[in-house]
Protein backbone atom coordinates (compact mmCIF):
# COMPACT_ATOMS: atom_id res chain seq x y z
CA UNK A 1 0.00 0.00 0.00
CA UNK A 2 1.48 3.39 -0.96
CA UNK A 3 2.44 5.70 1.85
CA UNK A 4 0.71 9.09 2.11
CA UNK A 5 3.12 12.03 2.16
CA UNK A 6 3.17 14.56 4.97
CA UNK A 7 1.83 17.42 2.82
CA UNK A 8 -1.01 15.25 1.52
CA UNK A 9 -1.95 14.40 5.10
CA UNK A 10 -1.93 18.09 6.03
CA UNK A 11 -4.18 19.04 3.08
CA UNK A 12 -6.54 16.16 3.81
CA UNK A 13 -6.79 17.20 7.46
CA UNK A 14 -7.47 20.85 6.52
CA UNK A 15 -10.25 19.79 4.15
CA UNK A 16 -11.67 17.40 6.76
CA UNK A 17 -11.71 20.15 9.39
CA UNK A 18 -13.47 22.53 6.99
CA UNK A 19 -16.06 19.92 6.04
CA UNK A 20 -16.72 19.00 9.68
CA UNK A 21 -17.01 22.66 10.68
CA UNK A 22 -19.41 23.42 7.82
CA UNK A 23 -21.51 20.38 8.73
CA UNK A 24 -21.66 21.46 12.38
CA UNK A 25 -22.65 24.97 11.30
CA UNK A 26 -25.32 23.60 8.99
CA UNK A 27 -26.83 21.41 11.70
CA UNK A 28 -26.76 24.28 14.21
CA UNK A 29 -24.41 22.63 16.69
CA UNK A 30 -21.82 25.40 16.21
CA UNK A 31 -22.85 29.02 15.77
CA UNK A 32 -20.43 31.61 14.46
CA UNK A 33 -22.03 34.91 15.37
CA UNK A 34 -19.03 37.14 14.73
CA UNK A 35 -19.03 38.70 11.27
CA UNK A 36 -15.23 38.84 11.27
CA UNK A 37 -14.95 35.13 12.13
CA UNK A 38 -17.43 34.24 9.41
CA UNK A 39 -15.53 36.38 6.90
CA UNK A 40 -12.13 34.93 7.81
CA UNK A 41 -13.49 31.39 7.66
CA UNK A 42 -14.95 32.11 4.23
CA UNK A 43 -11.67 33.59 2.96
CA UNK A 44 -9.68 30.68 4.40
CA UNK A 45 -12.02 28.17 2.75
CA UNK A 46 -11.90 30.02 -0.55
CA UNK A 47 -8.09 30.18 -0.58
CA UNK A 48 -7.82 26.50 0.34
CA UNK A 49 -10.18 25.47 -2.44
CA UNK A 50 -8.41 27.75 -4.94
CA UNK A 51 -5.00 26.29 -4.12
CA UNK A 52 -6.28 22.74 -4.46
CA UNK A 53 -8.06 23.60 -7.73
CA UNK A 54 -4.85 25.01 -9.22
CA UNK A 55 -2.88 21.95 -8.12
CA UNK A 56 -5.55 19.68 -9.62
CA UNK A 57 -5.58 21.65 -12.88
CA UNK A 58 -1.80 21.38 -13.13
CA UNK A 59 -1.91 17.61 -12.65
CA UNK A 60 -4.74 17.31 -15.17
CA UNK A 61 -2.77 19.36 -17.69
CA UNK A 62 0.33 17.24 -17.15
CA UNK A 63 -1.71 14.07 -17.66
CA UNK A 64 -3.33 15.33 -20.87
CA UNK A 65 -0.02 16.61 -22.26
CA UNK A 66 1.68 13.32 -21.48
CA UNK A 67 -1.04 11.33 -23.22
CA UNK A 68 -0.87 13.57 -26.29
CA UNK A 69 2.91 13.52 -26.54
CA UNK A 70 3.29 9.84 -25.69
CA UNK A 71 1.58 8.52 -28.80
CA UNK A 72 3.47 10.57 -31.36
CA UNK A 73 1.14 9.62 -34.23
CA UNK A 74 -2.36 10.66 -35.17
CA UNK A 75 -5.41 8.99 -33.68
CA UNK A 76 -7.95 7.37 -36.04
CA UNK A 77 -10.28 10.33 -35.48
CA UNK A 78 -7.55 12.81 -36.44
CA UNK A 79 -6.71 10.78 -39.55
CA UNK A 80 -10.38 10.84 -40.55
CA UNK A 81 -10.51 14.62 -40.07
CA UNK A 82 -7.39 15.07 -42.21
CA UNK A 83 -8.86 12.94 -45.01
CA UNK A 84 -12.12 14.91 -44.84
CA UNK A 85 -10.15 18.16 -45.12
CA UNK A 86 -8.38 16.78 -48.16
CA UNK A 87 -11.73 15.85 -49.73
CA UNK A 88 -13.07 19.35 -49.06
CA UNK A 89 -10.01 20.87 -50.71
CA UNK A 90 -10.56 18.66 -53.79
CA UNK A 91 -14.21 19.71 -53.99
CA UNK A 92 -13.23 23.39 -53.72
CA UNK A 93 -10.67 22.98 -56.52
CA UNK A 94 -13.24 21.30 -58.76
CA UNK A 95 -15.76 24.08 -58.04
CA UNK A 96 -13.14 26.71 -58.90
CA UNK A 97 -12.44 24.90 -62.19
CA UNK A 98 -16.17 24.90 -62.98
CA UNK A 99 -16.44 28.60 -62.21
CA UNK A 100 -13.54 29.41 -64.57
CA UNK A 101 -15.16 27.58 -67.49
For 2-31, what is each residue's pLDDT tens digit?
788 998 899 899 889 988 988 888 888 877
Geometric angle at alpha carbon 100, from 96 and 101, rounded to 5°:
120
CA–CA distance from 36 to each of 19, 40, 48, 88 (Å)? 20, 6, 18, 63
Q: H or E stretch including 47?
A: helix 35-71
Q: Are 75 and 66 in contact (CB under 8 A)?
A: no
CA pair distance 54, 34, nearest whole angstrom: 30
Query: What integer pLDDT is reported at residue 39 of this predicted model?
Result: 84
Q: The whole model's pTM is what?
A: 0.49
Amino acid sequence: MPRISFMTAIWMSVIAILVIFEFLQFTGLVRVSSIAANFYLFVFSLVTIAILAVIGAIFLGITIAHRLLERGDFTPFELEMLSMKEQINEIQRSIEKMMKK
